[in-house]
Structure 1
Amino acid sequence: MPSASPPDWVVAHRRAIGEHIRASRREKRLSQERLAELAGIDRQAVNRIEQGHQAAYIDTLIRIARALDTPLADLVR
């Protein structure tokens, strides 16, 4: 049985997190591919997270924050 879609407010917050990641990545002048390499994930995952199409596990967010040298709290605020 498929799980129910998340509420709109969850999707909106997921998109906001993706926007924070994208802004930080661009500020650091990193491509999605380079961020993926630094975080140990694939580029498609970075793209889906930035677009808000994929919910990221906390471990992935921790990896991204470390790769960006940015506090995790700044990405999820």
Structure 2
Amino acid sequence: MPRPTPPDDRVVARRRQVGEQIRRVREHRNMTQQDVCGRSGIDVATYSRIEQGHSSPKLDTLIRIADAMRVELEDLVHRDAAAPDGGDEGGRDRGPATGVSGPGAGGALGQG
């Protein structure tokens, strides 16, 4: 059986961005990793690896994290306007960051 191909640098960079965004949203919601894990049923070590960008979570896991934080899934995977390679994701205008939304979010992350 052939070994899986390791992810390229772009994938690794994006995985780290998603982990950082998850952490920012969690902190904005004034939650600890234990809070998220208790509400989502995810192991703390697994969750920590996701935030650190060392693990690629399945979609189901991202949905459970979003539900635990009471935010939309897109809030966890939103990319800033500039892509890691300095581009804008194939020339598409992605618009401004939406930040944190959903019930009780209190507005966009980092915005009044």
Return the TM-score normalized by structure 2.
0.66
Q: Partner amino acid for 1:15? A: R
User: Where does residue 17 of structure 1 map in the other structure?
Assistant: 18
**Distance in 2 between the 1:12 and 1:70 partners?**
23
Where do residues 20-59 of structure 1 align in structure 2 (5 Å cutoff)? Answer: 20-59=21-60
Show structure 1 runs of 5+ residues with no match: none
2: CA distance between counterparts of 1:25 and 1:74? 11
**3-state SS of the aligned residue for 1:46?**
helix
The residue type equivalent to 1:36 in the other structure is C
- Residue 2 of structure 1: how far off its partner (Å): 2.3
TM-score by length of 1: 0.93
Residue in 2 aligned with 1:61?
Answer: 62
- Work out the CA distance in 1 between the residues paired with 2:27 and 2:75: 15
Unaligned runs of 5+ in 2: 79-112
* Structure 1 stretches of 4+ moved >2 Å: none
Shift of 1:34: 1.3
Tell me: higher relative CO, structure 1 or 2? Use CA pairs within 8 A at least 6 residues apart.
1
Aligned equivalent of 2:85: none
Aligned length: 77
Q: Which has the higher helix share?
A: 1
